[in-house]
C-alpha cells in the first residue's frame, strides 16, 4: 500500500465521521457559502510569475517543515508578496492542517484559495465552499473518471475552480474533460517520493491548451520555473521552500523579485 492509498483509506473514515457531525444543510448555511469566488485559473493566465504559495506544516515525505507559523500572518505575507493564489492544506493526520486554517486564511487575505485535500466525496467540496475556498484539488490517482466528472461538475455549480492533479500519462488520459480549469502535474513519484521536473516536461505536450498548466512539487528555484515556462506552464505550486523559512511572505517577495529580473 503506497502513502496515497493509506491517506485515502483514513480519509474515508474521517469524512464519514464529519458528515455525522455537520450535516450538509449546516454547511450550506455558512456565511461564506454565498460569497463570490475568485478564479485562480484567470489570475494565472494573466500573470508572468504564476506563483501559488502554500501553507503546509509537515508532510509524509519531509516530516516537520514548520510548526511555528501563524496562518493569518502567512496568508497576509503571501498577499503582500503578490502571489497569484494560496494553497492551504486541510488534512490533519498527515499534513498537520485543518479547515480552520482555510477559514483563517480567508479572513486575512483576498487571494484565491485552494483547498489542498484528498477529495473522495462530494461532501468535501461543499465544505470547501463553506470554509471560503475558491479552488478545489482533485487527484486523478485516487478517483475514477466518473468521480472526476461528478466532483468537477459539482464544483463548477458552486463557482469553484478545479485543479486536477496527475502523475503520469495514464492518469492524464482518463481525466481530461471540460469541467476542469487547470491541470497540475505532480513531479513527485508517490511510491518513491523522488522528484523530477522531467515529469512536467514530458506531460506538457499531452495537455490541451484549454487548460491552465500547473507544475507541482520540487519547484524551489528560479531555474526550475524558467525551465518549465517554455513548456507552457503558467502556474507553479511552491510549498516547502517558503514554509521552511521564518517569514514565508518575505521569502516569496524575494523569490518573485528575482524571478522578474
Residue 148 CB neighbour total at 10 angstroms: 22
Catalytic residue among 108, 186, 200, 241: 186
Catalytic residue among 117, 171, 216, 240: 216
CA torsion through residues 173, 179, 185, 191, sign: negative
Asked whether 198 and 168 are in contact (CB, 8 A), the reply is: no
Query: What is the mean pLDDT of the segment spanning 140-158?
Result: 98
- 217 noted as active-site residue: yes
Catalytic residue among 11, 39, 43, 56: 56
Rounded to two decimals, the pTM is: 0.96
What sections of 109-179 are H helices per DSSP?
122-130, 145-157, 169-175
**Region label for 165, one of left (φ > 0), alpha (ψ between -120 and 50) or beta (otherwise):** beta
Read off the C-alpha cell for 1: 500500500
- Per the listing, cell 486564511 goes with 105
- 174 noted as active-site residue: no
Nearest Cα neighbor of 37 from 121, 122, 108, 106 is: 106
Angle, helices 71-81 vs 248-260, to 10°: value is 20
Catalytic residue among 108, 217, 241, 251: 217
Asked whether 36 and 159 are in contact (CB, 8 A), the reply is: yes
Percentage of the chain surpassing pLDDT 90?
A: 89
Catalytic residue among 79, 117, 165, 240: 165
Look at the domain 3-260 and name its fold: TIM Barrel (3.20.20)
pLDDT at 191 over 80: no
* Summary mean pLDDT of the chain: 95
- 54 noted as active-site residue: yes
Asked whether 91 and 97 are in contact (CB, 8 A), the reply is: yes
64 pLDDT tier (thresholds 50, 70, 90): confident
Nearest Cα neighbor of 155 from 118, 122, 188 is: 122
Read off the C-alpha cell for 117: 485535500
What pLDDT was estimated at residue 66?
76
- 191 noted as active-site residue: no
- 47 noted as active-site residue: no
* 85-89 vs 212-216, strand pairing mode: unpaired
Query: What is the mean pLDDT of the segment spanning 179-192?
Result: 91
Amino acid at each position: 500500500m503506497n502513502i496515497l492509498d493509506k491517506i485515502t483509506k483514513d480519509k474515508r473514515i474521517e469524512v464519514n465521521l464529519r458528515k455525522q457531525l455537520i450535516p450538509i444543510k449546516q454547511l450550506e448555511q455558512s456565511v461564506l457559502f454565498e460569497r463570490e469566488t475568485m478564479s485562480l485559473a484567470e489570475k494565472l493566465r494573466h500573470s508572468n510569475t504564476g506563483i501559488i504559495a502554500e501553507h503546509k506544516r509537515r508532510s509524509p515525505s519531509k516530516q516537520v517543515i514548520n510548526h511555528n507559523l501563524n496562518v493569518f500572518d502567512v496568508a497576509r505575507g503571501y498577499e503582500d508578496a503578490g502571489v497569484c493564489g494560496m494553497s492551504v492544506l486541510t488534512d490533519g493526520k498527515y499534513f498537520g492542517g485543518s479547515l480552520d486554517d482555510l477559514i483563517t486564511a480567508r479572513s486575512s487575505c483576498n487571494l484565491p484559495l485552494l483547498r489542498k485535500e484528498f477529495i473522495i466525496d462530494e461532501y468535501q467540496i461543499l465544505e470547501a465552499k463553506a470554509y471560503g475556498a475558491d479552488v478545489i484539488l482533485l487527484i486523478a490517482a485516487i478517483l475514477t473518471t466518473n468521480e472526476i466528472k461528478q466532483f468537477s461538475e459539482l464544483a463548477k455549480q458552486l463557482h469553484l475552480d478545479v485543479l486536477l492533479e496527475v502523475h503520469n500519462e495514464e492518469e492524464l488520459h482518463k481525466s481530461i474533460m471540460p469541467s476542469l480549469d487547470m491541470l497540475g502535474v505532480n513531479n513527485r513519484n508517490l511510491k518513491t517520493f523522488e522528484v523530477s521536473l522531467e515529469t512536467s516536461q514530458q506531460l506538457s505536450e499531452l495537455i490541451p491548451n484549454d487548460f491552465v498548466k500547473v507544475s507541482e512539487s520540487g519547484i524551489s528555484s528560479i531555474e526550475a520555473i524558467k525551465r518549465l515556462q517554455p513548456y507552457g506552464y503558467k502556474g507553479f505550486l511552491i510549498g516547502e521552500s517558503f514554509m521552511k523559512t521564518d517569514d514565508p511572505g518575505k521569502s516569496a517577495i524575494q523569490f518573485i523579485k528575482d524571478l522578474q529580473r
